[in-house]
Structure 1
Amino acid sequence: MTLPEKHPAYNYQVNPDLTSIDWQRVCQLFQEINWKHRLAEEIEKAFKMSTSTLFIYEGEMIIAFGRVIGDGRYYAMLADVVVDPAYQGRGLGRYLVMALNSQLENYHFVNLSAAPGADRFYKTLGWKKQTTAYIWPQGPKQLRQHCEKD
């Protein structure tokens, strides 16, 4: 898998020291893309339990990030792929997805849950819609946004 070129103006950090991350900024970016109801402390804990993380900075400011949750061999999931709306359209999301996915070549199953409306983006990167995936909805919003109508 060939990765897209890194944008020369940005700093890319794979698996950085997570104690140095500005978790309030990460929480702010979640809110800016309307993924609300997240707390900085919970986000930090989730990232620390992840298999792999990737943060992209402009100067000292986080502008994009993503992570992988995996068991080391069989199952992995890309999660929390987020790009600051002011930086979208510059290839950062593409780089995040491709870079994280490139670390998972020997896994049997790699999946992700796309945000509503992001289908086309993932399909252009080669992702396929899975016919056998299921979700246990955690409330009416997930039921509405992520589930087929009965």
Structure 2
Amino acid sequence: MTIEVKYSCDEVDWDLVASILKRVGMGHYAPEIHSKAFHASHTTVFIFDDDKMIGFGRALSDGAYQAAIYDCAVLPEYQGQKIGSLILEHILKQLEGCNVILYAAPGKEGFYQKLGFSRLKTGMAKFVAEKIMQDKGFID
């Protein structure tokens, strides 16, 4: 396995991004929507094994003291090989000095806790697809 980290959205296959998110059970949209979201992000990280994209993530930030991480995903066949940790490591390097929030898929909280994240005691959300998020266990 030859791992390469890229930060640019140039030449990203957005169909593959949508496909990976769907495969791992995360929110997914039309490829052009993912392209718009990643291009508008403060930080983007894409992980490749040779020329094959195997994972990615992004962060929104004011670049001063607040940030939020979204869309961290790793192909199932590469999970458990520290690829997710590598994505977070590279995102967090770009967010030094910032408070960082994210919401984890139910059952994945432990992964983020191992990387130094703590559970929030308070938090609020307003989702477009509230019923879906409720069914997935994100909200009561």
Q: Same fold by TM-score, threshold 0.5 exceeded? A: yes
Per-residue CA deviation, residues 2-41 of structure 1 (Å, 9 max, x unaligned), is xxxxxx611111x21x231111111110111012541100
Per-residue CA deviation, residues 104-136 of structure 1 (Å, 9 max, x unaligned), is 1222x2101111211111111111001121111
Structure 1 position 119 matched with structure 2 position 109: yes
Larger CA Rg, structure 1 vs 2: 1
Structure 2: runs of 5+ lacking an equivalent: none
SS at match of 2:54: strand
Aligned residues of 1:78 and 1:101 also touching (Cα < 8 A): no
Aligned residues of 1:137 and 1:143 also touching (Cα < 8 A): no
Aligned residues of 2:14 and 2:32 also touching (Cα < 8 A): yes
How does 1:56-71 map onto structure 2 within 5 Å?
56-71=47-62
- Does the C-alpha gap of structure 1 residues 36 and 112 become closer, same or farther in structure 2, counting only changes over 3 Å? closer
Structure 1: runs of 5+ lacking an equivalent: 1-7
The alignment covers a number of residue pairs equal to 138
Moved over 6 A (4+): none
Q: Which residue of 2 aligns with 1:92?
A: 83
Q: Give the Cα–Cα distance (whole angstroms) in 1 for the partners of residues 114 and 47 of structure 2.
A: 22
Q: Which residue of 1 aligns with 2:22?
A: 31
Identity %: 30
SS at match of 1:65: strand
Structure 1 position 146 matched with structure 2 position 138: yes
Aligned-residue offset at 1:102: 2.2
Aligned residues of 2:45 and 2:87 also touching (Cα < 8 A): yes
Aligned residues of 1:66 and 1:78 also touching (Cα < 8 A): yes
Aligned-residue offset at 1:43: 0.2
Aligned residues of 2:18 and 2:28 also touching (Cα < 8 A): no
Q: Give the Cα–Cα distance (whole angstroms) in 1 for the partners of residues 23 and 114 of structure 2.
A: 24
Per-residue CA deviation, residues 61-114 of structure 1 (Å, 9 max, x unaligned), is 11010111111112101111100001001000011112211221222x210111
Q: Give the Cα–Cα distance (whole angstroms) in 2 for the partners of residues 103 and 130 of structure 1.
A: 22
- Which amino acid counterpart does residue 57 of structure 2 have in structure 1? G
Q: Give the Cα–Cα distance (whole angstroms) in 1 for the partners of residues 105 and 127 of structure 2.
A: 14
Question: Which deviates further from its counterpart, 98-107 or 112-121?
Answer: 98-107
Aligned residues of 1:83 and 1:93 also touching (Cα < 8 A): yes
Q: Which residue of 2 aligns with 1:3?
A: none
